Structures are given as structure tokens and as C-alpha cells.
Amino acid sequence: MSEISRPEGRALDALRPVTFQTGIAPHATGSVLVSFGRTQVICAASIESRVPRWMKEQGVEGGWITAEYSMLPYSTLDRKARDISRGKLDGRTVEIQRLIGRSLRAALDLNKLPGKTLWLDCDVLQADGGTRTASITGAWVAARLAVSKLMAEGKLEEDPILDHVAAVSVGVVEGQARLDLEYVEDRDAAVDFNVVMTGAGQYVEVQGTGEEATFSRDELDALLALAGGGIETLVAMQKEAAAVAS
């Protein structure tokens, strides 16, 4: 794929520089600072030896995974008020933390987390586009580290992780399909997608829309192919990060 003018001179099918700094939150069971270019998110996994009340009331066996997501006030150019100061979560926050939870639940066997809740806290330190995709990708690493620690300590009998899960954004900007959009690209995108996939190449979720534009089946296929290549690279990076930390 030929190069065009992009921030940092990236090719159309290139990810931003991606890094995983594990052990960033020592009191969490597993943690990582994930960076997609200038977007930085701390993802921390913690385990509670209880499940939500609704599981007990409905007699649902196994464990649960839930996520919380927040953007710190200084993560954007203009200070973002904390949700607590408004007295409620905004709709975007609720949507993203539900997406993170769904994505991780697709990659784990909840029956192998008996009586336990895996909490995934994703806090955005700096936002430059793709905070939800970075959160999902980093949350898997945090979960992998947490599960490995619990198994080493004899607190989990079986590994509940079935597969990797990672996410990336794609979009059409200036008539060109691009991978892993920065904020300035996301802002100007005619078509914008967030794609979540497993390591085996199965889709978990596809969120996409035309921003005052339409898109063809061929464009959709091209965007999904672009996302698939990016996620394949992210999964390889997840494996390396988890292996280095173990």
C-alpha cells in the first residue's frame, strides 16, 4: 500500500508506535501502560472473591468480568470534568466500559473464574484518538498478567483465557482507508470504524458509521481487512509483552 501524507509520515496500513509497560500499578493483580502513539491508557486488573448480586439471584454459575473506563481531567487539551463532579457517568463513558467488558468476556471462560469478579480499570492519561481500542488491547494484557499470577499462587485451578482479544480503529480520510486513526484523522474521517477481534481472527464487535457520508461494500471489506492486519500485529505484541512480564 502506498504512502500518503499522514501524521508522523505513516503509511496507510501502519499502526502508530505501540508499547506495553507492564507492572505500572503495583497494587493491582496485573497492570500495563499501553501507548498507541500519543494515546496512553493505564489498564489494571483486580480480582474480587465475589460475583454481582444478579448472578446469585439468578443462580448463574461461574465468575464475571466488568470494566470501568475514565478519561482523566488532563488527558485532553481542554480540561475534562470528572464524572463524579457531574453526579453521573456520561453516555460515552458507559458505552466504552460496556464495550471493554463485552470484549474481554468473549475471550475468557467465565466458568473457570468460579465465584470471582475480574475488574478491569482503564484510565486514559492522554487522549489522541483510539482510547477505546487501546483500552481493550491493554486490558487483555492486564488480564493475562493477573490470571498468570493467580495461577502461580494456586488461587485459580484452570486458565480461563481462551484467546487474545485486541482492537483498532480504521477509517476513510481524504478518500483513503487508514489504519489506527489519530485524533486529527478521526475528526475529519468520512467513515469511522472500531473493530474488536480475537487472536483467531473472529470478530467480537464492529462499530462503524458514515460521518455525513456513505460507504460501499468494497470499502467496508477494505476497512475490515485493514483492521485484521493491524490486530494481527497487536496480538503478536500482546504475546511479547505477556512473555516478557512472566
> What pLDDT was estimated at residue 182?
95
What gap in Å lies between CA 45 and CA 63, rounded to an integer? Answer: 14
Cα–chain center distance at 78: 24
What nine digits make up the cell of 57? 439471584
Q: Which CATH superfamily is domain 7-245 in?
A: GHMP Kinase, N-terminal domain (3.30.230.70)
Reported as a pLDDT band with limits 50, 70 and 90, residue 9 is: confident
> What pLDDT was estimated at residue 1?
42
Contact predicate 127/184, CB 8 Å:
no
pLDDT digits (tens, 9 = 90+) for 222-241: 999 999 999 999 999 999 99
> What pLDDT was estimated at residue 16?
96
Global pTM reads 0.92
Contact predicate 196/178, CB 8 Å:
no
Q: Where are the domains of the chain?
A: 7-245
pLDDT digits (tens, 9 = 90+) for 111-129: 999 999 999 999 999 999 9
What nine digits make up the cell of 194? 472500531
| Backbone dihedral angles phi then psi of residue 190, each to the nearest 5 degrees | -80, -30
What nine digits make up the cell of 71? 478519561
